[in-house]
Amino acid sequence: MKLIFILFGIVFTLFNACFGIIIIFNDNQNTTIWADLSSLATIDIALLTIFIVFFGGFQFIATKEQAEEAKEHNKNTLAHTAYSEYLKLTLQFPDFAHPEASKIIQNYKVYNQYRWYIANMLFHFEEVLLAVGKDKDWETTLKYQIKMHSWHICRNDNYKTQGWDKQLEDLIGKVTLQTRKYGSKINNFLVVSDDCNSLYQQYLALILINHKLLKPERSCFISLSNSNEYKIFLKSTLYILAALLEASEANVEWGKTVHNELKNFEWYFKTVKVVEHDMCYFTNEIHKKLICEQNRFINLIYG
């Protein structure tokens, strides 16, 4: 653009020089020279006016672009500064940056520190969103970080109603909805809810105590199937597994886990002639339905 202004100046100067020479060496009388010069001045004023308007418009556009660039730079600077503060927090508390829910919940003091960590994290994220507004890249980054802590945030609905900026509240809402529907992975550890982890621990403890009943010898099928000990063990395991399915809210990974565990009990249903729709092995219709959905053989009997 500067080159255009330089060329305009050169052309304007040459135009005036040439027009002036023509006027001076014209054969007309000297009285007409002033009239010609007056015409030249009028043309010059018109050209200069056009030039000034054009130059002013250019300056206005350039100034506006510079202001927009400065504004964008300031927004990015504020966002990066806020996110840097969050990264400092993760370096200060690395165990919270990649949390293991089971370890954190076991210690009341640690869990309180973790809640403080989450509050600070969301505060920094709010500053980022206030700085950049609707930015998909930043939203993706923050959403990923929030998802790592969704096991805790999902258990506390007040995180969505604590007066955060609406954009952050919407982001928390999206992560919460997605986590409750599909679950989330943290360091290859599936966390849907603490209830699921607790129930599965109860199941493993029950299996550990009664490990001989889990996979009995074929020769013991008949005698074991008629024993009250095994019936109580079976009802206890089915209750826990059904409660686990109910708590997991149809999470696919937990469903696969329960499906594999139920295969250990198929021999019993194949050996014993059960009464159709017998409810003695299930606490309620919901538990019966959930178990049937996870095991094809049991579903053929009770479904």
Angle, CA 302 vertex, CA 250 and CA 239 arms, to 5°: 55
Of the listed ranges 27-41, 51-65, 145-159, 204-218, the least confidently predicted one is: 27-41
Copy the structure tokens of residue 130.
């206030």
Copy the structure tokens of residue 289.
């339905």
Cα–Cα distance list, 283 to 73, 141, 179, 236, 288 (Å): 62, 44, 28, 10, 8
pLDDT in tens, 28-56: 545 555 555 566 566 666 666 776 766 66
Q: Are strands 189-191 and 184-186 parallel, antiparallel or unpaired?
A: antiparallel
Residue 159: DSSP 8-state: G
Query: Of 194, 204, 178, 300, whose CA–CA distance to 257 is shortest?
Result: 204
For residue 215, is pLDDT > 60?
yes
Task: Give the CA radius of gyration of the chain.
Answer: 39
Report pLDDT for 150: 81
Copy the structure tokens of residue 216.
């009995």
Report pLDDT for 33: 52
Check: CB of residue 231 under 8 Å from CB of residue 265: no
Report pLDDT for 276: 45
Question: Mean of the pLDDT values across residues 149-164?
Answer: 72
CB atoms within 10 A of CB 188: 5
The kind and range of the H/E element at 135 are: none
Dihedrals phi, psi of 227, to nearest 5 degrees: -85, 140
**What is the C-alpha separation between 216 and 223, in angstroms, rounded?**
11
How sure is the predictor about 261, in pLDDT bands with cuts at 50, 70 and 90?
confident
Domain residue ranges in the chain: 2-76, 93-191, 194-302
For residue 181, the SS3 value is helix
Cα–Cα distance list, 262 to 31, 68, 248 (Å): 117, 63, 16
Query: Of 76, 85, 163, whose CA–CA distance to 124 is shortest?
Result: 85
How sure is the predictor about 158, in pLDDT bands with cuts at 50, 70 and 90?
low
Report pLDDT for 191: 46
Using the structure block, give the residue that is written with the tokens 């400092």: 88
**What is the C-alpha separation between 287 and 242, in angstroms, rounded?**
5
For residue 70, the SS3 value is helix
Check: CB of residue 104 under 8 Å from CB of residue 194: no
Copy the structure tokens of residue 82.
């806020």
The kind and range of the H/E element at 49 are: helix 30-92
As a whole-number percent, the residues of the chain with pLDDT over 70 amount to 64
Report pLDDT for 274: 54
**What is the C-alpha separation between 207 and 295, in angstroms, rounded?**
19
Copy the structure tokens of residue 12.
């304007």
Question: Mean of the pLDDT values across residues 174-192?
Answer: 56
For residue 189, is pLDDT > 50?
no
